[in-house]
Amino acid sequence: VGRGGPFFSAVVVRQLSAPPQHFGLWIDGREVEAASKATAPIENPATGEVVATTAMGGPEDVDRAVAAAHARFASREWHEDFGARRRGAILRECARHLRDRLDALVSLESKSTGRPVRGDPLQ
């Protein structure tokens, strides 16, 4: 499938596996660290517990991401190799992976915001 394929599902699977969790930046079809190597903790505001860390992108990272997006769009690869049906299938696959990992995603969001989960998260 290449760099433009169902990348999101691979990242979600890896990042929801085992702590400690670290979230990098997604640039040019892969997860990378910030050019500055800067990171920040993601804390549960209710407990102060560090639930994950994240890369802290800066101007250089924005420039890298924009350049990669422009190059990808100019290559026409996304348009030619991934027609509307293929892109739709990729989005449906991403949605399936999100649904399959809903409990872990809800738990992470609850921890990072310090808010309890009430009711059905899909409603």
* Structure tokens, 50: 């560090």
Q: What confidence tens digit (pLDDT) does each residue in 85-111 have?
A: 888 998 999 999 989 988 888 888 888
Percent of the chain with pLDDT over 90: 36
Q: Are strands 21-23 and 50-55 parallel, antiparallel or unpaired?
A: parallel
pTM higher than 0.75, yes or no?
no
Q: Please give the pLDDT value at position 77.
A: 73
CA distances from 113 to 44, 45, 78 (A): 6, 6, 35
pLDDT category at 121 given cuts 50, 70, 90 is low
Q: Please give the pLDDT value at position 20.
A: 59
Residue 68, helix vs strand vs coil = helix
Q: What confidence tens digit (pLDDT) does each residue in 31-89 have?
A: 999 999 999 998 888 888 888 899 999 999 999 999 999 998 888 776 777 788 888 99
